[in-house]
């Protein structure tokens, strides 16, 4: 029995709306009549951009994943950053498609709604509507919105809405409307590790400093925050932070004593056994949840990482299911245990 808390998806329901658009993101045909999905940065064959959910369910069954929490795939998240008169309709298509999958497969899927983030009033209204739909447990918000305390305060209306609805806020690395993105050009030397690891982890670390080392979350005791990739680099850098605090401002609490917030949870997507061990040491095994990114290659990697981690079996069971069940169990139906098939 496994809950996958970080499972991106690409809903077929968006395809027709994207075909009708005349500017990115859109689906267009080339001179040979082949369809391509094009956003503000790149173009890829359209047939690679949308999921067959029966194939997804078969993959989940192979690995014993009973429930997957869906969130919109990164390239498609451009719809959240469009002007609200364009964004709202597309986000609603996504949110309704998400709810339809949750209703069609009770307990197998839950999900994070997407919001038209260029207008926070409209975003709050869509947040409230989406939370009334089957399987929707919260929203995904961009990591850039939490890089500093001032950034985070600007998103207070959405956090207040989440708190009122007792929802989960999934903070995922990414830009707000209007942000320059990506911060590393796709054609730069070693672009993939520079952008998808160094930039991502650094940004998540800054998010965690905002969430843990300020009083920002104190105003929202009834929401839960989920942040991915072990919250950036804190498990590996916390000793350095403690040393600097000890040397520079010894009258203040050590950073290592400030990271265990009652409503803050982390997933271990993409990391190996040693990183998971450090995460457990810092945050506690009850704060970490299993995640795959929603892809076959990551599922096998993530399961092996947890199996190899030098933590006790109760901690592993908590990471695979129990911790996530506490976070989302009151918001949606969870599937019963499923037998894992041979992978």
- Domain range annotation of the chain: 2-10+52-328
* Rounded-to-integer distance, Cα 286 and Cα 69, Å: 19
* Nearest one of 266, 238, 86 to 276, comparing CA atoms: 266
Owner of token pair 């359209």 = 46
CATH topology of domain 2-10+52-328: TIM Barrel (3.20.20)
Q: By three-state DSSP, how is residue 115 classified? A: coil
Span 3-32, mean pLDDT? 96
Q: Can you say whether residue 178 is alpha, beta or left, with left for phi > 0 and alpha for psi between -120 and 50 degrees?
A: left
For 175-191, what is the mean pLDDT? 93
Q: How big is the chain by its Cα radius of gyration, in Å?
A: 20
Q: What sign does the dihedral 281-282-284-290 (CA atoms) show? A: negative
Q: For the chain, give percent helix, strand, coil, nearest 5.
A: 50, 15, 35
Rounded-to-integer distance, Cα 328 and Cα 128, Å: 17
**β-strands 264-267, 109-113 pairing:** unpaired
114, two tokens: 């997407």
Contact residues for 223 (Cβ-Cβ < 8 A; gap 6+): 138, 159, 162, 163, 165, 166, 167, 168, 169, 263
Distance CA 343, CA 340 (A): 8
Q: How far apart are CA 284 and CA 55, in angstroms?
A: 35
Average confidence (pLDDT) over 146-173:
98
Q: Which of 4, 10, 38 is nearest to 94 (CA)?
A: 10
What distances in angstroms separate CA 68 from CA 54, 93, 205, 230, 243, one per listed residue?
Answer: 13, 20, 25, 18, 39
Q: Does residue 307 have a pLDDT over 90?
A: yes
Exposed/middle/buried for 149, CB within 10 Å: 0-12, 13-18, 19+?
A: middle
Quote the pLDDT of residue 41.
82
Contact at 8 Å (CB) between 245 and 210? Answer: no
Give the pLDDT of residue 42.
86
Please provide the average confidence, as pLDDT, over all residues in the chain: 95
Distance CA 284, CA 75 (A): 33
Model confidence at 338, in pLDDT bands (50, 70, 90)? low
Q: Are 204 and 231 in contact (CB under 8 A)?
A: yes
* Cα–Cα distance, 102 to 106 (Å, whole number): 6
What pTM value is reported for the model? Answer: 0.95
pLDDT digits (tens, 9 = 90+) for 44-98: 999 999 999 999 999 999 999 999 999 999 989 999 999 999 999 999 999 999 9
pLDDT in tens, 216-275: 999 999 999 999 999 999 999 999 999 999 999 999 999 999 999 999 999 999 999 999
324 token code pair:
């996530």
Can you tell me the distance from the alpha carbon of 255 to that of 241, in angstroms, rounded to the nearest whole number?
Answer: 6
Residues in the chain, total: 343
pLDDT average, residue stretch 306-315: 98
E strand residue ranges, 199-336 = 224-227, 264-267, 288-289
What does the pLDDT look like over 97-132, one tens digit per residue? 999 999 999 999 999 999 999 999 999 999 999 999
CA 100, 104, 105, 107 torsion: positive or negative? positive
């Amino acid at each position: 029995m496994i809950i996958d808390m970080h499972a991106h998806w690409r809903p077929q329901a968006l395809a027709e709306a994207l075909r009708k658009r005349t500017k990115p993101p859109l689906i267009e045909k080339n001179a040979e009549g082949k369809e391509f999905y094009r956003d503000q940065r790149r173009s890829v064959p359209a047939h690679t951009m949308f999921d067959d959910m029966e194939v997804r369910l078969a993959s989940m069954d192979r690995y014993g994943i009973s429930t997957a929490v869906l969130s919109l795939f990164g390239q498609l998240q451009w719809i959240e950053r469009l002007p609200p008169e364009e964004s709202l309709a597309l986000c609603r298509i996504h949110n309704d498609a998400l709810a339809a999958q949750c209703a069609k497969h009770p307990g197998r899927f839950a999900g994070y709604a997407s919001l038209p983030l260029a207008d926070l009033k409209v975003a709050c209204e869509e947040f409230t509507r989406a939370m009334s739909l089957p399987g929707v447990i919260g929203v995904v918000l961009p990591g850039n919105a939490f890089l500093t305390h001032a950034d985070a305060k600007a998103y207070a209306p959405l956090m207040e809405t989440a708190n009122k609805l007792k929802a989960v806020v999934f903070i995922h690395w990414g830009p707000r409307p209007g942000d320059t993105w990506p911060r590393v050009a796709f054609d730069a030397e070693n672009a993939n590790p520079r952008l998808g690891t160094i930039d991502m982890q650094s940004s998540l670390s800054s998010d965690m400093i905002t969430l843990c080392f300020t009083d920002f979350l104190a105003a929202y005791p009834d929401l839960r925050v989920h942040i991915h990739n072990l919250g950036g680099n804190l498990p590996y850098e916390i000793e350095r932070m403690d040393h600097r605090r000890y040397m520079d401002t010894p009258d203040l609490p050590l950073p290592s004593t400030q990271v265990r917030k009652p409503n803050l949870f982390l997933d271990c997507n993409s990391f190996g056994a040693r990183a998971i061990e450090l995460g457990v040491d810092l945050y506690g095994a009850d704060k970490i949840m299993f995640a795959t990114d929603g892809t076959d290659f990551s599922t096998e990697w993530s399961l092996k990482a947890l199996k190899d981690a030098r933590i006790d079996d109760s901690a592993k069971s908590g990471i695979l299911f129990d911790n996530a069940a506490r976070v989302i169990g009151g918001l949606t139906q969870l599937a019963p245990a499923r037998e894992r098939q041979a992978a």
